[in-house]
Every structure is written in structure tokens, then in C-alpha cells.
Amino acid sequence: VFSQMHFIERMPAAQQHRLQLSQVERVLRHAYESVPFYQERLEKIERAPEGQLDDALFASLPVMTRSDIQSAGKTLISTRIPSEHGPVYQQKSSGSTGKPIEVASTILPKIISTAHSLGTQYWHHRDISQKHIDIRTAYEPGTEPKNAKWSLLPWSGPVKRLDLNLQISELFDQFITEDPASVLSHPYTLMLLAERSQQTGTFPRNLKTAFSFGEALSPTIRKALEDIWNVQVIDSYSANEIGIIAIQCPETENLHVRVENVKVEVLDEHGQPCLPGTMGNVVITPLHNVASPLIRSEIGDFAEVGGRCSCGRNLPVLSRILGRHRNLCVLKNG
């Protein structure tokens, strides 16, 4: 998998694009033939000659909203899920947009996302034999794995999950006691922990890397983590129902889209692709979940498109993730 990732990121952008469209077409045809929800939405694909999908045809397909996914229910599940993709389970979104969704998935997309996460460690030269801490929602009682390791690789170090919902003082004490070499959590949680270090004068001794996910990482939080903890800060962009979307470049703060995992569009208010330096609505098509295909799915995020990265990799660039569109209500007092 790692050699394939390395090969793809150095591949000419035009070749990347052609190969990705080929995979997109396979997903589209599978969806049309086996997913009731898409019988009308993808009629154009059925009429098109096989192997002839282009950008114009793909862009003419309707964008799927979160409300579409919610109302589709079981009609979004394929009637022909390949057995070789592994067991089927339900995957829920975090609900941060106010419209949580639940889709079917197989184990294959999870395996691929795990491979990309491991690839991130090698991209950034992290020693995976060291202890790692995940700070997120706690395991259900009785389900926490014993002697968990970061990956299946035999030299992987231990990993432990701490409960995101603890009071920050208790969470900080556990974090310091565990003394990890790396930590992963939401940017705001990481910032609160770093501020607690400043307040108490207690700093993690072995921490070298802070991985952020799940929220927009602001320049202010990045700098605070670097200054207070003297660590490398590595951002990623993912969604529960999709997996890894983009990973921070090893040489810059740009996010590189993993084109072998997802097709990412950033669209303006007229539904047209944004140019580098402009912001738009993120629309995602995962390339490996054929249990509940999400085709041109609007996930509620806004991002800024980047130009070619100075690192020399040909993967598409998102220069910033600007957060989510959220429902707001204004009280009578303003």
C-alpha cells in the first residue's frame, strides 16, 4: 500500500485524474445497477458508453445533500455488496452539521483509511514504536481492547484512548501520566491541554507530535501547540462516513487530497469548481464504499483550493479547511 501511495503521489496529475475517473465510473455503474436510490439520479451514466466518463458528465450529476441521505434510508444500500469487501456494518457521522447520517460500509474502506493513517506516520518520519494517545469519545463499557497497538505491524507501539468528555483537569492528569510520544485529538482539546501545561508548569516529557483531526486547525492553535509544547503539529481532514480525505504535506502546511481514496470537488455558489485561492463547498465521492455509495455528497464543509505544492507531489491541494456551515438561532437579545 505504501509503495502504491508513493507511486500515485509522484504520478503526473493528468494520469492521476484519468485513473481516478476510471474508478469513479466503476462506483457509478455499480450504484446505478444495485442501489435503488440511484435508479433515476444516474440514468445519464447508464446511457453513456462504458469507459467514457469525463468531467462534464460527472459534474452534471446532482449533488447529494445530507437530507437526501437521511431520507434515502435503506434505499441507499446496495443489493449486490461484493463479499470480498468484508463484513458490512453501519457507519455514523459525528452530527456536527446538525444533520447526522448513517450509511452502510464494508471493512475495506476502514482498512484503506488505516493504511493512509499509517502512511502519514512514515511521511512525517514518526517512530511508530513509541506510545500514542487518542483523545476522543471513550469506548463503550467492556469494549476497550487489551494491549492495543497502533497498527498490526509487529514493531508498533502501544496506543491508549482517553475520554474526550472528561473535565480538562482530569484529562490533563491522565495525559501527563501516560507520557506519550504522540497524541491525536481535536484542535481545541489539544489547545486546552497545552494551556493547562502553561497554567500548571507541567509539560509532557516525551511528546514530539500532535495530530489534529475533526475540526478546522487555526493558525493560532497550531502556533500555540508548537510554542507551548515544542512539538510538530500535523493536521488531517477526514469524515466518519468517508475516512481519510486529505493529509498534511510533510514539507508544508498544505493538505494533500488522497486521490486513490476520494474524489474531492470544491464548488462555488453556482456549482462551478473553485480556482486556487478561492473558497467553496466541499463535495466528496468516496471510491471504495460500494455498500452505500455516496456520489457527489455535500458534507457541509468549506475549504480553500490550493495551487501546486512546493513539495513536488502532484496530489491536489487544499490550502485551508474553513469549518462547517452550522445552523444558528438568534435570541431576542441579539
Higher pLDDT, 28 or 156: 28
Backbone angles phi, psi at 173, to 5 degrees: -60, -40
Rg for the chain, CA atoms, rounded: 21
Please give the mean pLDDT across all residues of the chain.
Answer: 89
- Averaged over 148-160, what is the pLDDT? 83
Confidence of residue 265 (pLDDT cuts 50, 70, 90): very high
Task: Give the model's pLDDT for residue 198.
Answer: 95
Q: Is the pLDDT of residue 209 over 70?
A: yes
Residues linked to residue 170 through DSSP beta bridges, in sequence order: none
Q: Is the pLDDT of residue 128 over 90?
A: no
Higher pLDDT, 156 or 189: 189
Higher pLDDT, 145 or 313: 313
Amino acid letter, residue 297: S
Task: Give the model's pLDDT for residue 298.
Answer: 94
Over residues 67-96, the pLDDT tens digits come to 999 999 899 999 999 999 989 888 776 555
pTM: 0.88
- Averaged over 292-307, what is the pLDDT? 94
Pairing mode, if any, of strands 297-305 and 279-286?
antiparallel
Task: List the Cα angle 238/243/247 in 5-degree steps.
Answer: 45
Q: Is the pLDDT of residue 2 over 70?
A: no
Per the CB < 8 A criterion, the answer to whether 263 and 20 are in contact is yes
Most confident of 43-57, 192-206, 310-324: 192-206
Contacts 24+ apart (CB under 8 A), 96-99: 96/300, 96/324, 96/326, 97/66, 97/299, 97/300, 97/324, 97/325, 97/326, 98/326, 98/327, 99/66, 99/67, 99/70, 99/300
Q: Is the pLDDT of residue 263 over 60?
A: yes
Q: Is the pLDDT of residue 326 over 70?
A: no
Q: What percent of the chain has pLDDT over 70?
A: 95
Over residues 34-68, the pLDDT tens digits come to 999 999 999 988 888 888 899 999 999 999 998 99
Q: Is the pLDDT of residue 98 over 60?
A: no
Confidence of residue 104 (pLDDT cuts 50, 70, 90): confident
Question: Exposure string (b/e) for 227-251, b if CB count within 10 Å is 16 or more?
Answer: ebbebbbbbbbbbbbbbbbbbbbee
Contacts 24+ apart (CB under 8 A), 99-104: 99/66, 99/67, 99/70, 99/300, 101/66, 101/69, 101/70, 101/241, 103/69, 103/76, 103/241, 103/289, 103/291, 103/292, 103/294, 104/76, 104/77, 104/78, 104/291, 104/292
Task: Label residue 271 left, alpha or beta by phi (over 0 means left) and psi (-120 to 50 means alpha).
Answer: left
Confidence of residue 1 (pLDDT cuts 50, 70, 90): low
Three-state SS string across 61-124, please?
CCCECHHHHHHHHHHHCCCCCCHHHCCEEEEECCCCCCCCCEEEEEHHHHHHHHHHHHHHHHHC
Look at residue 156 and give its three-state secondary structure: coil
